[in-house]
């Protein structure tokens, strides 16, 4: 029987609510589909990264980007789940940035796009991830939110069937702005489509006050995952945000999900992730 709304037993202990995203470590993630791999640096696969998360950062959550998977073959995903379990790490979300054409005039392309998302929903089920993150479909008229949701509907239907939430992140100042995401969530009117607030991404669309407002709007529709960072590089300049203010917003919204560390300010990701974890534990 399909659940009417998503369910999860989120941990209460602060450290247990922390995860580390693979995105900041993209230069060292060994995977055939990773375009950001730096061959001059020693690499690691997802199983090795999971062990690093547990041993180095002393947390148990991991957020693996889709392009950092060595394989999407079900048997290999089962083995990856076993490797995660062996070191005591669990998946909190899977960001999926595969190119899809859900708004295409060609039916085969639309079907292929939703099939791609269904595959990642199946992977989320195997890994025990409560969600995946996708992008709002980009139709010819970006203001046509009903058409975008209609294009995504097959994915949302499958997600509901499998008990997996689909998240939308404020990671583009136009196509995935907080305003557009909230309009999409309201249009879809389903608990299976939620917001993924990123603490600093909306700096791409305005100043710190603009970013804070966007984060507050996103938390009103968040469920299981948010991205923690205190800086973004905007047009070559490092812009910062107040973590204290953003954690206050998260708590006021009643958010009970995971905080995923996603350093993205052109600094050493190992040092910055440690810094973000320390701040999160203080402010959570």
Return the pLDDT at 2.
65
Collapsing DSSP to helix, strand or coil, 157 comes out as: helix
For each of the domains in the chain, give its residue range(s) and CATH number, in order of start. 14-283 (3.20.20.150)
The closest of 181, 212, 205, 193 to 154, measured between CA atoms, is: 193
Dist CA 203 CA 232 (whole Å): 7
Using DSSP, how many helices (H) and how many strands (E) does the chain show?
Answer: 8, 11
Return the pLDDT at 87.
98
Structure confidence by residue, pLDDT tens digits, 205-257: 999 999 999 999 999 999 999 999 999 998 889 999 999 999 999 999 999 99
Dist CA 112 CA 245 (whole Å): 42
Dist CA 61 CA 198 (whole Å): 17
Dist CA 193 CA 10 (whole Å): 18
Global pTM exceeds 0.85: yes
Asked if 167 contacts 93 with a C-beta cutoff of 8 angstroms, the reply is: yes
Asked if 92 contacts 18 with a C-beta cutoff of 8 angstroms, the reply is: no
Strands 90-91 and 237-240: unpaired
Asked if 81 contacts 280 with a C-beta cutoff of 8 angstroms, the reply is: no
The arithmetic mean of pLDDT across residues 13-38, rounded, is 97
């Amino acid at each position: 029987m399909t659940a009417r709304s998503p369910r999860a037993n989120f941990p209460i202990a602060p450290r247990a609510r922390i995860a580390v995203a693979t995105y900041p470590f993209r230069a060292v993630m060994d995977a055939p589909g990773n375009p950001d791999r730096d061959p001059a640096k020693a690499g690691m696969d997802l199983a090795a990264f999971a062990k690093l998360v547990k041993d180095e950062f002393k947390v148990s959550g991991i957020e693996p980007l889709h392009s950092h998977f060595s394989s999407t073959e079900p048997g290999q995903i089962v083995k990856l789940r076993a490797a995660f379990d062996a070191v005591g790490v669990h998946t909190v979300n899977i960001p999926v940035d595969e190119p899809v054409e859900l708004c295409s005039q060609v039916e085969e392309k639309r079907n292929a796009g939703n099939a791609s998302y269904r595959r990642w929903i199946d992977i989320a089920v195997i890994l025990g991830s409560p969600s995946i993150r996708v992008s709002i479909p980009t139709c010819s008229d970006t203001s046509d939110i009903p058409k975008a949701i209609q294009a995504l509907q097959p994915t949302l239907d499958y997600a509901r069937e499998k008990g997996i939430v689909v998240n939308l992140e404020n990671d583009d100042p136009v196509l995935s702005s907080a305003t557009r995401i909230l309009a999409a969530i309201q249009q879809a009117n389903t608990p299976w489509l939620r917001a993924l607030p990123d603490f600093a991404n909306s700096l791409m669309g305005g100043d710190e006050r603009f970013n804070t407002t966007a984060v507050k709007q996103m938390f009103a529709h968040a469920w299981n995952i948010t991205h923690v960072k205190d800086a973004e590089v905007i047009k070559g300049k490092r812009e910062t945000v107040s973590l204290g203010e953003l954690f206050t917003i998260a708590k006021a919204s009643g958010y009970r999900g995971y905080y995923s560390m996603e350093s993205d300010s052109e600094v050493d990701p190992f040092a910055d992730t440690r810094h973000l974890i320390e701040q999160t534990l203080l402010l959570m």
